[in-house]
């Protein structure tokens, strides 16, 4: 629905990246790990890309 009205959409990982870039989070890796351990699927390439984007490994 949002796309029909040209409203940009941001996913969970995008929100975490933005929070890290705005210095609201010290690290996103523990949060990504917590998501994956609670049955939230994040592919390895997405996790690696997200961590690389904020300088984490």
Taking 70 as the pLDDT cut, the residues of the chain under it are none
Q: What is the pLDDT of residue 8?
A: 87
Q: What is the pLDDT of residue 37?
A: 95
Q: What is the pLDDT of residue 57?
A: 82
- Report how far residue 39's alpha carbon sits from residue 42's, in angstroms, rounded to the nearest whole number: 9
In a 10 Å sphere around its CB, with 0-12 CB exposed, 13-18 middle and 19+ buried, how is residue 16 labelled? buried
């Amino acid at each position: 629905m949002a796309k029909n009205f040209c409203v940009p959409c941001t996913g969970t990982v995008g929100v975490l990246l933005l929070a890290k870039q705005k210095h609201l989070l010290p690290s996103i890796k523990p949060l990504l790990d917590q998501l994956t351990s609670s049955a939230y699927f994040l592919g390895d390439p997405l996790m690696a890309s997200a961590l690389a984007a904020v300088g984490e490994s």
